[in-house]
Structure 1
């Protein structure tokens, strides 16, 4: 079981099972939502347990996706594609070791000009 929370602790999560490898997303929307590129991993909805759901607010950033954040502290929490049976959890939510590592960079065509991607992971333009 992997546990985590937002900055203020109002929203807590527990994820059953091993965590998959996360992606680093450099798209404009992720950078604006989180302040830098976003790192998140996808888990089946059935494996995710959320405590404090009343504190989660959703922003529909497109017709297909909503982004969850804590209404108290503003922490980035979720990237949730509508009509799917999984959601993405922001890596910053996890407490303690995750026993995983980045798998790739996505939307590198939109990355900020103020940093370089220096690791040797795959980079997808979109």
Structure 2
């Protein structure tokens, strides 16, 4: 069960930010083919935010009408998927990976399982590794990536990108 609180989030570059108050309902993983394509991933994690408690705090998303009933919101600058919206409903689905604290909302179910990749249940058996700064690309590459990072931090800022 989700906890009532304030949730904030946004895209990777910081051009679009949002805030939702209350409870995020029906947190789930959608495996349908449309969500796979929209996320560029094997599934899309979503939860419902009540429209009356949701607001954009920076920027405006782009929208793609993926079906007669659904439009999908994304950042026009960096491409981050942000929303699954059925405008006639009283809620908007937030893509959980765009939350500033995505670990705070645990999915409770899965939908669209007819399109779930058959080996999805085997993921926990794959070997794991943390990011290795001394890996194949080398330490200099790792440091260069960290020092040139343009990703928005996981909290609200007055403006972005920071002034040089």
Structure 1: give runs of 5+ residues left out of the alignment. Answer: 120-126
Q: Distance in 2 between matches of 1:93 and 1:9?
A: 11
**Residue of structure 2 equivalent to 1:23:** 28
TM-score for the superposition, normalised by structure 2: 0.66
CA drift of 1:75 comes to 0.2
Cα offset for 1:23? 0.8
Corresponding residue number in structure 2 for 1:50: 56
Whose helix proportion is higher, 1 or 2? 2
Correspondence for 2:65:
60
Q: Find the counterpart in structure 1 of residue 121 from structure 2.
A: 116
Q: Cα distance, 1:98 vs. partner?
A: 5.4
Structure 1 residue 118 displacement after superposition: 7.2
Change (3 A) 1:98 1:112: closer
* Correspondence for 1:123: none
Between 15-24 and 32-41, report the one with greater CA deviation. Answer: 15-24
Assess if the C-alpha contact under 8 Å between 1:41 and 1:88 holds in 2.
yes
Q: 1:53, 1:27 → 2: CA distance? A: 29
Structure 1 residues 60, 97: CA separation in 2 closer, same or farther (over 3 Å shift)? Answer: closer
In structure 2, C-alpha distance between the alignment counterparts of 1:81 and 1:53, rounded to whole Å: 20
Count how many residue pairs are aligned between Structure 1 and Structure 2: 118
Spell out the pairing of 1:1-126 with structure 2 (5 A cutoff).
1-36=6-41, 37-54=43-60, 56-96=61-101, 99-116=104-121
Q: Distance in 2 between matches of 1:117 and 1:58?
A: 34
Q: What TM-score does the superposition give when structure 1 sets the normalisation length?
A: 0.84
Q: Greater share of strand residues, 1 or 2? A: 1
SS at match of 2:121: coil
Segments of 4+ moved more than 2 angstroms: 18-21, 51-54, 96-100, 112-119
The answer as to whether partners of 1:7 and 1:73 remain within 8 angstroms in 2 is: yes
